[in-house]
Amino acid sequence: MTTIHLITKINASKKIVFDASRNIDIHQQSASPTNEKAITGITSGLINLNETVTWRGKHFGFYLTHKSRITAMNFYDYFVDEMERGKFKSFRHEHFFEEVNGFTIMKDKLQYETPFRIFGELFDVLFLKKHLTRFLLERNKTLKEVSENSIA
């Protein structure tokens, strides 16, 4: 199992950052390099507990689909999305939010397993972990920009 940890400091309230993080439209904006689109389930606006979204995007030259469900949510502090269908053996993304001195500290913990045993592990080490880290960093950059420019 591979784990990616990221921490992003955002000059906005926890509520604004939390809502931006579960906003399908903002995710699509941040994922524009992979042309990722929500194609079924919640396809716009805020996703909530037990709701699903299926994404379709181009990764490594292939269009792939990934269906996730929000499996846990504690408003403005934490939520989890987990893969229900996709190319991973398992995929769990935990999102944590903490307000400190007027800033929100957003923490990502992404854990996943690749299929295909040693071949999947090799692909992960050579390409996948870097790709997913860049993907999350781009997402967090967009979340930071949108949240810090929010009037709410």
Strand-pair partners of 117: none
Alpha carbons 131 and 52: distance in angstroms, whole number: 24
Upper half-sphere CA count for residue 152 (Cβ side, 13 Å): 10
pLDDT exceeds 70 at position 152: no
Upper half-sphere CA count for residue 94 (Cβ side, 13 Å): 10
Alpha carbons 31 and 64: distance in angstroms, whole number: 13
pLDDT at position 150 is 83
User: CA torsion, points 38, 43, 46, 47, in degrees to nearest 10?
Assistant: -80
What does the pLDDT look like over 27-74, one tens digit per residue? 999 998 899 999 999 999 999 999 999 999 999 999 999 999 999 999
pLDDT at position 65 is 97
Which domains are delineated in the chain? 2-148 (3.30.530.20)
Segment holding 142, helix H or strand E: helix 129-148
116 φ/ψ sector (left φ>0, alpha ψ -120 to 50, else beta): left
pLDDT exceeds 80 at position 151: no
What does the pLDDT look like over 94-132, one tens digit per residue? 999 999 999 999 999 999 999 999 999 999 999 999 999
Q: Do you know the residue count of the chain?
A: 152
Average pLDDT over residues 5-21: 97
CA-based diameter of the chain, in Å? Answer: 49
